[in-house]
Amino acid sequence: LLRRAAQAHGSGDPRYWIAARMTLAEIRAAATRLHGVVHHTPVATCATLDRLAGCELFFKCEQFQKAGAFKYRGASNAVLSLSDREAARGVVTHSSGNHAAALARAARRRGIAAYVVMPRTASRLKWRAVQEYGGHIVLCEPTFAARQAAAAALQAETGAVLIPPFDHAAVIAGQGTAALELLADVPGLNAIVAPIGGGGMISGAAIAANGLDPTIAVIAAEPAGADDAARSKAAGQLLAQTAPDSIADGLLTGLGTLNWPIVRDLVDAVVTISDEAIVAAMRLLWERAKLLVEPSAAIALAAVLSPAFAAVPARRPLRRVGIILSGGNVDLDALPWNPGS
């Protein structure tokens, strides 16, 4: 039955069978596995931003997570799910930064090797973080195809276990624990808004929200210059990411094949946001809420402040909105409002 379901959704990959039947129980199991390993991050509020949005906003502050981003949840869950025999081979991934650092840190905690493929254009801040956590870096051209090819070659060379940044059931479950915490800490939310790149976090959030209360709207925020999720939703089929271009460097990758059916079926809307709006939201979060986040995180607030948010189909009025701030790994030497940056 699972094989036929996978084929019906255009995927014969057995990993899809796991993702297709993932439930709240898997995310709760991940939360148990991660207890004491990841931070239970705080929820912040800001009256000024509530007034601008016209609703109550609750910010899940994953910039305070270990390694500076929500990615540590998925990476840790995946690494801790490995058998001792698998773990002894080490792990390999490809990432523009946050997942790279997260996996290197998770691997170091377990005492195993981490091999990381990063695009040569990756932030030097994130590059240094991977090195500090003991990751072995291999550089590649800044395309998703180049990243995948380099990771495959590195895996063949080292025999390490591939832990992709989002297209992996254990990663999705681990990342879903952020939404699980948010829903426990803030009862009565009408919506959860989170960034979307590969789709790991929004998939986990959608599964958690749907499992606890199917009336909660789940809304993805995506850069207008990297809008494959929005186009896929509109077309009803997974479309490729083409020539992505955005200041939100963590959201330039294409939507994962395991994440796509979850996004298609459980995410209510994908709101696309301009880089100008992302920068404005980032500055608001810094100045008004004193929350230092990176552009890929600020996009979620930008989505709530955009006119498109009011048009999102919802089962209830969106009066109490949870926003997942995905990370805070900011290169302070290249702030988007600095002259010449």
Rounded-to-integer distance, Cα 261 and Cα 16, Å: 9
Distance CA 142, CA 263 (A): 25
Beta bridge partners of 222: 272
Beta strands in the chain (DSSP E): 43-44, 56-61, 91-94, 114-119, 136-140, 161-162, 191-195, 217-223, 269-273, 320-325
Give the E-state strand segments of 168-235 in sequence order: 191-195, 217-223
Note if 71 is an active site residue.
yes
Contact between 279 and 218 (Cβ < 8 Å): no
326 a catalytic residue: no
Q: Which letter does DSSP use for residue 198 in this model?
A: S
| Cα distances (Å, whole numbers) of residue 297 to 17, 274, 294, 327 | 30, 14, 5, 6
Which is the catalytic residue, given 60, 71, 126, 233?
71
Say what the alpha-carbon torsion angle 100, 101, 103, 107 is, to the nearest 10 degrees: 130
Query: DSSP string of 58-127?
Result: EEEEGGGSGGGBTHHHHHHHHHHTS-HHHHTT-EEEE-SSHHHHHHHHHHHHHT--EEEEEETTS-HHHH
Please give the structure tokens belonging to residue 107. 């691997």
Among the options 96, 123, 203, 296, which is catalytic? 96
Contact 203, 324 (CB under 8 A): no
Active site residues: 71, 96
